[in-house]
Structure 1
Amino acid sequence: MVAKGKPTGAGYPQRLRIIGGDWRGRQLQVIESEGLRPTPDRVRETLFNWLQTRIAGAHCLDLFAGTGALCLESLSRGAERVVMVEMVHAVAQKLRQNIEKLGASAAALIETDAEHYLQGPVEPFDIIFVDPPFRRSDLIDTCLEVIHQRGWIKPGGWVYIEAPSERGQPALPDGWHLERSKIAGQVGYHLASAPD
């Protein structure tokens, strides 16, 4: 993220910047909340370079929306629809304001936790973002297994995973393939594909 003004007490900027697409350069406010850790600009840029041929027209799900950076960036770059799941009420309120500020009518915000959401009615997505707070990176394995078992990812769909770099590469469900994997400082980020 690009900071405008001084960083919050959590050490991240008070604003995030959309880095590509129709809303490129738009600044959105970020609130301070425990565990909220916006995906850095350079990581987001690499991720969307990886996804560039898949994002247009995609249906995307972010299970730990936080600032909404990943789904809002997806919409800016041509995704057809996004669903953002966020359990912290204050964070969801700010995200709702940012959705309205952008006029992002193709964005749905669900105020619940990821595990509860994944137990609900299944709607398969093209791209799913799994980026929990680092202190809850244990949720990654659980989420990936439920996504796989319940059919949340479309055949050949892609899942983005972000976790502390010391965690290493994610353990993927049977038949999944690790397409890309990088480390940027303390952040490990990975892109996996589901079987066709």
Structure 2
Amino acid sequence: MKKPSRGRTAKKNPKAKSAAAGDVRIIGGQFKRRIVSFIEADGLRPTPDRLRETLFNWLLADIHGARVLDSCAGSGVLGFEALSRGAAHTTFIEVNTAQSNMLRQSAEQLRLDTAAYTVITGTAEEVLSQHQPIEHPFDIVFIDPPYAQDLWQPILSTLITNALIDQSTLIYLEADKDLTPQLEQLEEQLNENRDAQLETTQQMICFECVKQTKVGQVVAGLYRLSPS
């Protein structure tokens, strides 16, 4: 960044100002009340404070030391909130390059240790299929894509297929409708192909709903894989 010439008033960078369309506040933990910013993009809407508070109350006994995936990161507030509350590491995946850069800026502003987070630019399905950013299953996974695109199904399928989650993983899903019928369909699809997809186990895939709530039109639930 260039320093202003002596005796002149520094000019604001209009591009920097217009890049950020909104801010969202971290509501708990060591970064409580700190702000992260996000750009204007289709479908990018941070999880509301009330719902976020409910989610992290659900995760209270599991968040400390957890390996977290924020699969459609957007503002990244779920992943940053997890780190604020004691998670060991968050992997952020964000398809929008500008917002991906914003995530890195937010991490720097929070003065996070670089060992505590990874930001990957790309679609969650492609990143998790090709790059597999961790060696062991995630402890907690946030799947909160733009509602209209129903991306949670291929993301969840990819996580299972690549053994990036197991029966101990807590999976957060957020949508604008009840996901139970679609989860049942996904179970059927995965079980039909489990011999080809899951080389290490012959167990049937079954989703267990641990917690569920509805805030306005938003339906949110915490799930895990369970033995059939």
What's the TM-score, normalizing by structure 2? Answer: 0.75
Letter in 1 for 2:217: Q
Shift of 1:151: 0.9
More strand by share: 1
* Structure number with larger C-alpha Rg: 2
2:156 is aligned, of 134, 144, 158, to: 144
Question: 1:155 & 1:163 partners in 2: Cα distance?
Answer: 22
Question: 1:168 & 1:69 partners in 2: Cα distance?
Answer: 23
Shift of 1:186: 1.8
Q: Which residue of 2 aligns with 1:117?
A: 127
Segments of structure 2 that go 5 or more residues without pairing to the other structure are 1-20, 188-204
Question: 1:61 & 1:168 partners in 2: Cα distance?
Answer: 20
Question: 2:167 & 2:221 partners in 1: Cα distance?
Answer: 18
Report the 3-state secondary structure (helix = DSSP H, G, I; strand = E; otherwise coil) of the residue aligned with 1:142: helix
Alignment of 1:31-46 (within 5 A): 31-46=39-54
Shift of 1:121: 4.4
Percent of aligned positions that are identical: 38
Could you list the per-position Cα deviations for residues 76-130 of structure 1 after superposition, in whole angstroms to 9, with x for gaps in the alignment?
0000001000010111121111111001221110011111012124432001111
Q: Which residue of 1 aligns with 2:69?
A: 61
Question: Aligned pairs, how many?
Answer: 182
Q: Which residue of 1 aligns with 2:171?
A: 159
Q: Which residue of 2 aligns with 1:135?
A: 148
Question: 1:194 & 1:116 partners in 2: Cα distance?
Answer: 22
Question: 1:79 & 1:195 partners in 2: Cα distance?
Answer: 24
1:79 is aligned, of 87, 102, 105, to: 87
1:92 aligned onto 2:81 = no
Q: Which residue of 1 aligns with 2:206?
A: 175
More helix by share: 2
Question: 1:177 & 1:168 partners in 2: Cα distance?
Answer: 12
Shift of 1:17: 0.6
2:36–2:77 Cα contact (<8 Å) kept: no
Q: Which residue of 2 aligns with 1:188?
A: 219
Letter in 2 for 1:152: L
Letter in 1 for 2:62: R
Question: 1:108 & 1:149 partners in 2: Cα distance?
Answer: 22
